Amino acid sequence: MLVNREIFPIGRKDPNFRGGLEVYDVSRPADPKRITSFSCRGMHRFTFDGRYVYGSPEMDGYLGNIVGIIDFQDPARPELVGKWWMPGQWSAGGETPTWEGTAHRCHHPIRHGDRLYVSYWHGGFVILDIADLSTPKFVSGLDWSPPFPWPTHTALPVPFALRGRRVMLVADEDVVRLGPASPSFLWIVDITDETRPIPFASFQVEEEDGSLKQDYTGLHQFCEEVRSTEIPIAWFAHGLRIVDIANPHAPRETASFMPPVPEGATRVQSNDVCYDDRGLIYLIDRTRGLHILERI
């Protein structure tokens, strides 16, 4: 089992605390044993294929999180085997960013085949060729922030064709906006020619009228496993939304679930959603709580 540790400078009590990934032996689930750590300044989101982690480590010498590929073939000796950064992040190498602070930083890499689909916060998304894991290569990217004010949270290719086209889902997170705005929404991007990604459709919940709203109202994250054209989405203050993309030009909502407001909170904050092997849906609230749901 891998557990990420992230560093938040505000309120930090231990100046020597290091982030990264903690590695545990969970062969006996009731008695987990720590094996080791992959140490870095911090690790945000990551995906794991059983051997390699595709993560977003903060590394010394770089501004903000970069792409890191870590080999866990030997769980006691994890090894960084590849990395990629957006030009301007490598401060130790003399690079100068064209953005403020860490606005462009790796948020979440997802592997499909020999490609990594990487959200890069206010740097949009990039597609990387990882046929050689040691040397990820830039294929294409698209940054729409600005003019759109939200950071990009996740980029996920649909593993089957839709009306003869290859399509990618992109979630902009409704937080840390560049300015006052209506809540964020779902993007649909044509990647049939992966060197020229083309956004061509979007979906917003019907309740939103375009007026300005506070952070954590709009989209956060969709399920990272696409099993059909129905996509479960955690939509912050609007709970769970299931959106059908069978016609990618006109996505439509087919089901929804609005959890009760958690104790101690003022509104729902649906944060993450995933399936299990039985098809049950797990919806996690950012403040508190978990709901297990069945699609009927």
Quick one: pLDDT at residue 56?
97
**CA 9 vs CA 13, 59, 101, 120, 177: distances in Å:** 9, 15, 14, 21, 20
In order of their start, the domains of the chain are 44-293 (2.130.10.10)
Whether the model clears a pTM of 0.85, i.e. scores above it, the answer is yes
Helix or strand holding residue 33 (H, E): strand 33-40
Quick one: pLDDT at residue 12?
56
- Among candidate residues 95, 90, 93, 54, the one with its CA nearest the CA of residue 71: 54
Three-class SS of residue 115? Answer: strand
Q: CA 223, CA 54: separation in Å to the nearest integer?
A: 17
Quick one: pLDDT at residue 239?
98
- pLDDT in 10s for each residue of the chain, 296 residues: 999 998 876 555 676 777 899 999 999 999 999 999 999 989 999 999 999 999 999 999 999 999 999 999 999 999 999 999 999 999 999 999 999 999 999 999 999 999 999 999 999 999 999 999 999 999 999 999 999 999 999 999 999 999 999 999 999 999 999 999 999 999 999 999 999 999 999 999 999 999 999 999 999 999 999 999 999 999 999 999 999 999 999 999 999 999 999 999 999 999 999 999 999 999 999 999 999 999 98
The helix, strand and coil proportions of the chain, stated in percent and rounded to the nearest 5, come to 0, 45, 55
Three-class SS of residue 5? Answer: strand
Quick one: pLDDT at residue 103?
96
The b-or-e profile of 72-110 (16+ CB within 10 A means b, else e) is beeeeebebebbbbbebbbeeeeeebebeeebbbbbbbb
Q: CA 58, CA 105: separation in Å to the nearest integer?
A: 9
